[in-house]
Amino acid sequence: MGEFELIEKLKKTLPDPSKRVLVGIGDDTLVARTPKERLLWTVDCLVENIHFDFNYYTPQEIGWKALAVNLSDIAAMGGTSLYALVSLAIPKRVSKKRVVEIYEGIRACAQWAGVDVVGGNVSRSLEDFFIDITVVGEANKPLLRSGAGVGEVVAITGFPGLSAAGFLALQKWGKKARKRYPLSTYQHVHPQPRLEWAKKLKGLGVTSLIDISDGLSSELHHVTGGSKVGFEIEERLLPVADEVKQIAQATNQNPLDLACHGGEQYELLMTFPLSRFSKISSSAEKDGVPLTRIGHTVSLSQGVKIRTLKGKLRPLKSKGWTHF
């Protein structure tokens, strides 16, 4: 199968684009209706055996995740994702059938999110399999990581450490882990960022928003740098899921470490004044989003700290996932 034949096959995997796409796959570039609001734009890359492994993931799940991690970035600005381009570099050992299956996962995620996959690029590589997806979105007033003030509530969606625990379980038990630890493994291979709810947060008075893809501690330090506030997180408030505790025990890990530092979690970390708390939690409840207050912001000079169960205040270092 030639390059153009593969592109034709991938094109057929996708549904017809929506009306805002004026020229899709087949010309030099995409031509689309311009976003009405601010342009948001992100790119993220998955590399086989660095970010995913065909032993743990179905090809469709790899495609889903490759798109979802980008949608999470747009959601973390309070924005709406519109269009996606997919750039693949494929070694010979990966069959065309598998590439089509990955595209099926991209399509499923795109349909879930209302995003048009409008083209991309297909290239050859020698060894590594590389899936680079870039997403354009829009937001009227983007929610940055720089808006937090001192004395605000810090809250997260979901259960930090769940994805990292799922990854540990998949590494230890392979596919068997999926039956034993369904929540954590599913969260790892099939992340579902809080796309719809994230759009409401600006209107609800959220002052800073970020996703915790690099791990909670790392992202707290990012907000510290952007907003010029410190954080006091309370261990007793952290929602550590049962599966995280079970997997931590079975793999000799500390569940608190998984919750504080585990990455690849596409949940939201936010700050807002206490006065907004009840409105924001009602909205989360109504939308089925688990939201937990985990601490409060303090002055920048106090840094990022965690209050342990015994009441001691300890520095919470940035130990998030890094490839280098």
Site of interaction with a copy of itself (CB under 8 A) = 1-6, 22-23, 26-45, 47, 49-51, 73-74, 76-77, 79, 83, 85, 87, 89, 118-128, 130, 132, 134, 136-139, 142, 144-146, 210-211, 226, 322-324
CB of 262 to a copy of itself, least distance (A): 17
Q: How far apart are CA 268 and CA 77, in angstroms?
A: 10
**Residue 50, number of CB atoms within 10 A of its CB:** 11
- Residue 142 vs 255, nearer CB to a copy of itself: 142
In this structure, the number of other CB atoms found within 10 A of the CB of residue 317 comes to: 14
CB 14, min distance to a copy of itself, A: 16
- Closest approach of Cβ 196 to a copy of itself, in Å? 17
Residue (223 or 240) nearer to a copy of itself, CB: 223
The residue (of 226 and 303) whose beta carbon lies closer to a copy of itself is 226
* Number of residues written out for the chain: 324
**C-beta of 252: minimal distance to a copy of itself in Å?**
26
**Which one, 5 or 287, has the nearer CB to a copy of itself?**
5
d(CA 182, CA 285): 23
Tell me the closest approach of the beta carbon of residue 96 to a copy of itself, in angstroms.
Answer: 9
Residue 303, Ramachandran bin (φ over 0: left; ψ between -120 and 50: alpha; else beta): left
Q: How many CB atoms lie within 10 A of CB 8?
A: 13
Please give the Cα distance from 142 to 41 (Å, whole number): 12
Output the smallest distance, CB 82 to a copy of itself, in A: 9
User: Minimum distance from CB of 54 to a copy of itself (Å)?
Assistant: 14
Parallel, antiparallel or unpaired: strands 130-139 and 21-23: unpaired
Q: Long-range contacts made by residues 306-313, C-beta under 8 angstroms, separation at least 24?
A: 306/232, 306/233, 306/234, 306/235, 306/260, 307/232, 307/233, 307/234, 307/235, 307/236, 308/235, 309/235, 309/236, 313/232
Please identify, using beta-carbon distances, which residue of 11 and 245 lies nearer to a copy of itself: 11
- Contact 150/247 with Cβ under 8 angstroms? no
Helix (H, G, I), strand (E, B) or coil at 160: coil
Residue (61 or 138) nearer to a copy of itself, CB = 138
Residue number, 50 or 313, with CB nearest to a copy of itself: 50
